[in-house]
Amino acid sequence: MLSPEQRRALARLATAGRDGATQSLLSAHGFGASMIAGLVNRGMATLAAEKVRAGGKLMAVGKVTITAAGQDALAAEG
């Protein structure tokens, strides 16, 4: 069973597309790192470190994507 916050996070990830969303964007929407980590630990999302260039600087960012299990859980919750 998903909490309302977990449902909202999975819904946000489901609409983010194949590239997912950055952890900082999810944080800006009020989703805490521990809640995202819980989704990752339950197999509903994945977290990958990526390097991106911004303003001429190379930065590491965390990219979060929904998994098939996360999509199934979201669909089951209605």
Indicate the number of domains in the chain.
Answer: 1
pLDDT of residue 66: 97
pLDDT of residue 49: 93
Q: Is the pLDDT of residue 77 over 90?
A: no
pLDDT tens, position by position, 29-40:
999 999 999 999
- At 19, is the pLDDT very low, low, confident or very high (cuts 50, 70, 90)? confident
Domain span including residue 51: 4-77
- At 72, is the pLDDT very low, low, confident or very high (cuts 50, 70, 90)? very high
Cα–Cα nearest to 59, from 22, 11, 18: 22
Q: What share of the chain in percent tops pLDDT 90?
A: 87
8 Å CB contact between 25 and 15: no
CA gap 2, 75 in Å, rounded? 11
